[in-house]
Every structure is written in structure tokens, then in C-alpha cells.
Amino acid sequence: MAAIDRLPPVKVFGLGLALVLAALNAKNTPLTIAAAASIGSAGLPVGQEIASLVIFVVIATLGLLAPLGVYMLGGERAKTTLGNWKDWAAQHNVAVMAVLFFVLGVKLLGDGIGILTS
């Protein structure tokens, strides 16, 4: 993450573009497919399916939209705030990933048990 601070604007733009295309990332693809399958198989009317997909996309992009919003609206204070967020994320990365994978594991276990008992 420290290297990102030294990148020129053109490379930062390229990195941002790569993050936008993160749906193609091997970690994100199964989650996106699972969400689309859940929404598609819920038997909702088309309007509610579209609304559900929009809500999913908004929630899925909050990790990018929140820092962007802070940067755009925060003025000079944004540098300090974003720097603190970056430091916290670097310091707690292992714990965040462990909790994320635990929650996903419990969700998949619950789905599997639900399938087996029905």
C-alpha cells in the first residue's frame, strides 16, 4: 500500500480502473454469481429483482465509494481521514479477512444444512 502513495496520477487511474474491473477477480466472481443466483431463484417480480441487483451493486461497491466520497467531500481533512483508514486496514488486514471468511463459511454451512434438511 505504501507504493500506491508514490504512483503518478496516470498509474493511479489505471489502478482505479483495475479495481472497477474487480468483478473479474477470482475471489469476487463466486460471490457475485452466488448473489445473482440467489436473487434470480427467489421468484421475485422483475422489478424487485432489478431493485435487489441495484442494492447488491451499491453494497458491493461501498468499499470504493466511501473513500471516494470522503476524498471528494472532505477537502483537506480527507487526507488525514483516508490515511488513518489506510493505516487501520494495513494493521488489521488479517483479522478482517478471517472474519470475512468465517462469515462466508457459516453462510455456506447454513445453506448446505438447509438443503440437506429439506
Q: Residue 35 pLDDT > 90, yes or no?
A: no
Give the tens place of pLDDT for each residue, 57-99: 888 888 888 998 999 999 889 999 999 999 999 999 999 999 9
Residues in the chain: 118
Answer yes or no: are the C-beta atoms of 70 and 82 closer than 8 Å.
Answer: yes
Give the tens place of pLDDT for each residue, 2-14: 676 777 878 877 7
State the Cα–Cα distance between residues 82 and 35, nearest whole angstrom.
Answer: 30
Q: Residue 23 pLDDT > 60, yes or no?
A: no
* Nearby residues of 104 by Cβ (< 8 Å), 6 or more positions away: 31
Taking all residues of the chain, what is their mean pLDDT, rounded to a whole number? Answer: 85
| Tally of CB atoms within 10 A around 49 | 15
